[in-house]
């Protein structure tokens, strides 16, 4: 068994660490031609603030355990071959201020969170993603593709017609309620 220990004296204060992996703050493994999936052990390093795995040949899905890296401020997974959806757990990363998932094989909707919607669309290009901050809306994509395949949209056309009919009817009733009141009550005409 390998025992990790470190003593660190900083500003006159001695600190003993039983595991030095808790000291790891920045991981940059970019441009190394690594392949395979991200080891789950990597996502257990909760003190990591910056993770850069860009421009390798990583495959598989982004592990959902990445959302447990609560100190993460920067993550760059661009230029790999990740597939599947972006895990919803990534919305747990409240300190995240930089993200780049571009040029992978990711699909589906970008998870909803304040941080995820604040990133530029360029952080997600080169994937089959939809939803904010991208201009492509996920629900429009599904409806458009169904309609292009010749499938009828189940009752949506009737609902749209009823919407406009009820809107026009509401305007007419509201307009004539005001005009009718003014015609009936002469005192209100001069107010």
Residue position matching structure tokens 């209100």: 188
pLDDT tens-place string over residues 10-43: 677 777 766 656 668 888 999 999 999 998 888 8
- 78 and 171 together in one domain: no
- 20 and 102 together in one domain: yes
Task: Determine, yes or no, domain membership for 1.
Answer: no
Per-residue pLDDT at 147 exceeds 60: no
Distance separating alpha carbons of residues 119 and 102, to the nearest angstrom = 12
- The pTM score is 0.62
CA distances from 148 to 18, 109, 129 (A): 61, 21, 20
| Helix and strand totals (H; E) in the chain | 5, 11
CATH assignment of the domain containing 138: 3.80.10.10
Q: Any bridge partners for residue 51, and if so which?
A: 27, 75
Six-digit token string for 106: 């990711």
Domain extent for 181: 156-189
Rounded mean pLDDT of the chain? Answer: 79
- 117 and 185 together in one domain: no
- 179 and 131 together in one domain: no
pLDDT tens-place string over residues 66-103: 988 888 999 999 999 999 999 999 988 888 899 999 99
Distance separating alpha carbons of residues 42 and 40, to the nearest angstrom = 5
């Amino acid at each position: 068994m390998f025992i990790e220990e470190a003593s660190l004296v900083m500003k006159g204060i001695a600190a003993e660490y039983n595991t030095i992996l808790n000291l790891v703050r920045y991981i940059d493994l970019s441009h190394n031609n690594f392949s395979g999936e991200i080891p789950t052990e990597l996502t257990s390093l909760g003190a990591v603030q910056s993770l850069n795995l860009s421009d390798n040949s990583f495959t598989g899905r982004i592990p959902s355990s990445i959302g447990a890296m609560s100190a993460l401020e920067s993550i760059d997974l661009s230029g790999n071959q990740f597939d599947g959806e972006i895990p919803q757990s990534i919305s747990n990363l409240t300190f995240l201020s930089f993200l780049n998932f571009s040029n992978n094989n990711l699909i589906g909707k970008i998870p909803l969170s304040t941080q995820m919607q604040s990133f530029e669309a360029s952080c997600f290009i080169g994937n089959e993603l939809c939803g904010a901050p991208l201009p492509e809306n996920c629900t429009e994509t599904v409806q458009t593709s169904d309609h292009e395949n010749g499938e009828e949209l189940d009752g949506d056309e009737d609902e749209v017609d009823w919407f406009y009919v009820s809107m026009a009817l509401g305007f007419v009733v509201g307009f004539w309620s005001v005009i009718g009141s003014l015609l009936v009550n002469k005192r209100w005409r001069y107010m």
